[in-house]
Amino acid sequence: MRARAGLVALPALAALLAATPASATDWILLRDLVALTRLDFVDRDSLRVENGQAEAMIYTVFREDTPSGMAAIEVRYLFDCARPRGRMLFARTFDANQQVRSEGPVTEEWSDIEARNFLAFVRPFACSNGAAPSGASMGSAHPFASTRRILRESQAATP
């Protein structure tokens, strides 16, 4: 039943996103988790591929705030297109009012990306400069408020 709730939520999410303010020109829904605790998006126009590496801006919305009060996070991530690894370059966290909680460069070392990690879905999309199959395009509407509403409605609908 959980997976079914996620499938029903996606068309509603696409419709609701059209009514929110823009901050990117083409948000791509990368993956909906079966548990629907978060949704991950990439800004297609942020993709940069050069010298066997790809950079992408990833925006994650959590159904509920984390214990530290984070409701969403935006990261700039660098992928190695030759092997499944990557590293975070920049992170910005937001509270439930979409106010910046923290931001700044990250000097993370390269780390392997496991097959079950959501970054394993982002990497082929980023390395193909957005040509690889991915999720639905949500257009330019900012995904926070509508995504949170869909995630919470999906949770309530799941027995």
| Cβ–Cβ < 8 Å for 38, 32 | no
pLDDT at 140 over 60: yes
| Cβ–Cβ < 8 Å for 98, 66 | no
Q: 47: closest CA among 106, 124, 117?
A: 124
- 133 lies in which domain range? 2-157
Percent helix, strand and coil across the chain, each to the nearest 5: 25, 35, 40
Strand partners, 122: none
Q: Tens of pLDDT along 72-116?
A: 999 999 999 999 999 999 999 999 998 999 999 997 899 999 988
pLDDT value for 55: 96
| Cβ–Cβ < 8 Å for 146, 16 | yes
Distance from C-alpha of 100 to C-alpha of 35, rounded to nearest angstrom: 27
Q: Tens of pLDDT along 13-53?
A: 443 333 332 356 788 887 655 567 888 889 988 999 999 99
DSSP state of 45: G
Instruction: Label residue 77 exposed, middle or buried (CB < 10 Å: 0-12, 13-18, 19+).
Output: buried
Say how many domains are in the chain.
1
Using CA atoms of 152, 69, 14, 28 in order, give the dihedral in degrees to the nearest 10. -140
Distance from C-alpha of 117 to C-alpha of 105, rounded to nearest angstrom: 22
CATH number of the domain encompassing residue 141: 2.40.128
More confident residue, 10 or 76: 76
Most confident region among 40-44, 110-114, 134-138, 141-145 by mean pLDDT: 110-114
pLDDT value for 50: 97
Distance from C-alpha of 31 to C-alpha of 123, rounded to nearest angstrom: 12
Beta strands in 95-155 (DSSP E): 100-105, 111-112
pLDDT value for 18: 36
